[in-house]
Amino acid sequence: MDIEKYIRNIADFPKKGVIFKDITPLLNDPQAMRYATEQLLKLVGNQKIDKVVGMESRGFFFGTVIAQELNAGFIPVRKPGKLPYDKVSQEYALEYGSDILEIHADAILPGQNILIHDDVLATGGTAEAVCKMVEKMGGNIVQFNFLMELTFLNGREKLKNHQVMSLLKY
């Protein structure tokens, strides 16, 4: 199955000059969704995973399913003010300014094997921020796992000390 045909290009979203990769057609087709999940799981292989970390918000779609299939817990990483318990926070750079991500402080125990999942690897800023939080908490990052990678933005460079896998490369 060619999952690329289920990814729609939206010109000038969220701003002029950007071509947004819309995964909602993929999410809308149960067979394509199942196939994409199977392929993402193949990227993990037989590696032992204790927790899957998914980034707000599109990392939640496949992240929860992957966690279930791996018999692992799922940990959401959210924007400020969305998590109700004690948090670990990490600021990261955006094109114009900065933002913050948060994770519950008790979500990862030292030594646990962590899979970090998101839909897209672009500039790598979000993934790098999550990496810093997971490592600060003592987690062992086994793999970064993405549905697609925008290679021309060189996000992989920010994650060069880790295994980075993606199904599609643009």
Q: Which amino acids are annotated catalytic?
A: 58, 95
> Using CA atoms, how far apart are residues 54 and 69, in angstroms rounded to an integer?
14
Identify whether the C-beta of residue 162 lies closer than 8 Å to the C-beta of residue 144.
yes
With a CB cutoff of 8 Å and minimum separation 6, the contacts of 35 are: 1, 3
> Using CA atoms, how far apart are residues 134 and 6, in angstroms rounded to an integer?
32
Distance of CA 98 to the CA centre of its chain: 19
Residue carrying structure tokens 């003592």: 138
Identify whether the C-beta of residue 121 lies closer than 8 Å to the C-beta of residue 148.
yes
- Tell me the two tokens of residue 90: 């990490």
Residues in the chain: 170
